[in-house]
Structure 1
Amino acid sequence: MAQAHKFQDLEETGEALVAFITSSRPESLMRARREQQALLDQQGETKSIVAHILRDVSRVEEGAGQMLLDMEVEKKKMEVELQNVEEKLKQNNARNQMTDSELQFLQGELESLRENELQLSALQSEVDEDTTEVIPSAVHVAQLYHVITKMQWEYDSAPGRLTGVHYGADLATPINIDLSTRRRTEVSDQLWSFISTEW
């Protein structure tokens, strides 16, 4: 049924076309042909222009796509560089904090050393004063003891031992006393026994 309908349409179109051709004059047909050719030529030009435009659009789209890809790669590189810079900045800040702490510690140590130096200078001054006053008098007293007792002591003897020499009228007597085994009174009595009571 559908095919019969199509066939009938085709017959009607063919009849209309035959009627148009037989009723047309040759001039009209030539003009229609020229118009049809002009239309075909214009359609060809339009197709060529559209194809050229499409090629240009495709090139622009391809360039823009490549540019976007390049920009994305560059963006990733910059993000990596930024992360590296941030990491270096964190490390530098940590180093600066450590350096500041060390500097504060060293400044405290320097201040402590300066205070110690001042104390040592003060002690040295006191010792110098005492030395100028005490040592000459101590030397004088030691010389006086030597003249009276006629004893000469060895100051480099072992700890816990008292060594020296007593120079009597006729002979020199060595002194060698172990202080760890004797009482102080015994040592004192022994030393006094060397001294003559005759004047």
Structure 2
Amino acid sequence: MSGGDKFQDFEETLEALVAVSSSQADKLEQVKRDLQAFLDQHVEIKKVMMQILKDVAQEEENVGQRLLDMEEEKKLREKELDGLEEQLRRCTAKSQTMDSELQFLQGELQRLRRSEEEINALRNEVDEDTTEVIPSAIYVAKLFHLITKIKWEYDTEPHILKGVHYGPDLATPIHFDTSVVSRSDVSDKLWNFVSTEW
């Protein structure tokens, strides 16, 4: 093979290499573009995923805060409910006490009404008796006073006779204990005050 053939072979080989090389370069350029597109897409997907993760984290934080707020609200409501239940228990107990007091007072009122009716009945009886008995008793007491000149004290103990005899010259006190002195002695002493002169 001559030098020209070699050169031609070399030239052909070089052309073949350039052809292969330019074809590979195109392929490499395409691979590079595909790789860059893939990397760009990967970066975009990563950004989207990061945003999604941030949104999820924010939503979880919001949900967690809402749960905490709801738990706090629940505790407040339970506390209010406990307070209302305690207030209801106190009101119920007070109501029962007031019902008992009301029943007692109604019983007392009925008892007082019955007593008032009894008192009115007794008053009516006394009024009837006094219209008949007292005038005659007053007449007898005045007659007794005119005859004996004795004025009795009525606010003494039952067994004590106490009064004053108003004689013509002086007033004489009278004091007898009927638990010690016999009735006949008391009667005799009282008759001694009565004047026999008319």
> What's the TM-score, normalizing by structure 2?
0.76
Shift of 1:114: 0.6
Mapped to 1, the partners of 2:134 and 2:92 lie a distance apart of 60
Amino acid at match of 1:154: K
Does residue 151 of structure 1 match 2:152?
no
Q: Does 1:107 align with 2:95?
A: no
Aligned length: 174
**Cα distance in structure 2, aligned partners of 1:173 and 1:30:** 161
Q: CA offset at residue 164 of structure 1?
A: 3.4
SS at 2:149's partner residue?
strand
The aligned runs of 1:45-64 (5 Å cut-off) are 45-64=44-63
> Map of 1:3-152 to 2, 5 A cutoff?
25-146=24-145, 150-152=147-149
Residues 1:177 and 1:61: Cα distance change in structure 2 (over 3 Å): closer
Residue identity matched to 2:174: N
What is the SS of the residue equivalent to 2:163? strand
User: Match of 1:98, as an amino acid?
Assistant: T
Query: For the aligned residues, what is the CA RMSD?
Result: 2.7
- Name the residue aligned to 1:13: none
Identity fraction in percent: 44
Provide closer, same or farther for how the CA distance between residues 35 and 129 of structure 1 changes in structure 2, counting only shifts above 3 A. same
CA deviations 1:31-58 (Å, max 9, x no partner) are 1111111111111111111111111111
| Residue segments in structure 1 that go unaligned for 5+ positions in a row | 1-20
Contact 2:163 2:174 in 1 (8 A): yes
> Given that residues 163 and 175 in structure 1 are in contact (C-alpha distance below 8 angstroms), is that contact kept between their aligned partners in structure 2?
yes
Q: Distance in 1 between matches of 2:65 and 2:139?
A: 106
Q: How far apart, CA to CA, are the structure 2 residues paired with 1:81 and 1:164?
A: 82
Structure 2: runs of 5 or more not aligned: 1-19
Amino acid corresponding to residue 77 of structure 1 in structure 2: L
Does the CA contact (< 8 Å) of 2:153 and 2:163 recur in 1?
A: no
CA spacing shift, 1:43–1:172, aligned 2, 3 Å = closer
Q: Which amino acid aligns with 1:25?
A: Q
Q: Distance in 2 between matches of 1:35 and 1:121?
A: 122
